[in-house]
Amino acid sequence: MESPSALKADTEALCINLQQLEEQLRAKTISFDEAQRLWNSTYRPKARLLAEAMLSYVPSGDPRIIVQSQIGDQRVIQSDAINCIEGRFSEELAAIQLLTIRDQLRKLANDLPTPNA
């Protein structure tokens, strides 16, 4: 499992990329097709992995997740963050989707445990 500090750094780097992509879409300096290709090939898989890694720190009773099944320490969860990441990337809503996902990832990163000082 990746450490919280490494997850935070990786998440912030991805959030910067998502914001840049959102700005390019709004400024029309990138086509929707190219943005969608980047989202599907690079950003979505990374966002999903980071969200799942950060959610692994969330306890089972937390309202941010629904535990679908659990065997020992292994659990299958569902969350709004993952649902949003896996949702259809829509041309009309792409910029808003990117900002929403960015905000959700940053919230998850901010909620990670911090090392004892």
pTM: 0.88
**pLDDT tens-digit series, residues 56-107:** 888 888 888 888 888 887 888 889 999 999 999 999 999 999 999 999 999 9
Q: What is the pLDDT of residue 116?
A: 61
The candidate with the shortest Cα–Cα distance to 20, out of 93, 99, 81, is: 99
pLDDT tens per residue across span 15-57: 999 999 999 999 999 999 999 999 999 999 999 999 999 998 8
Token output for 87: 């949702």
The DSSP 8-state label assigned to residue 31 in this structure reads -
- Quick one: CA dihedral 78, 82, 87, 93, positive or negative? positive
pLDDT band of residue 1 (cuts 50, 70, 90) is low
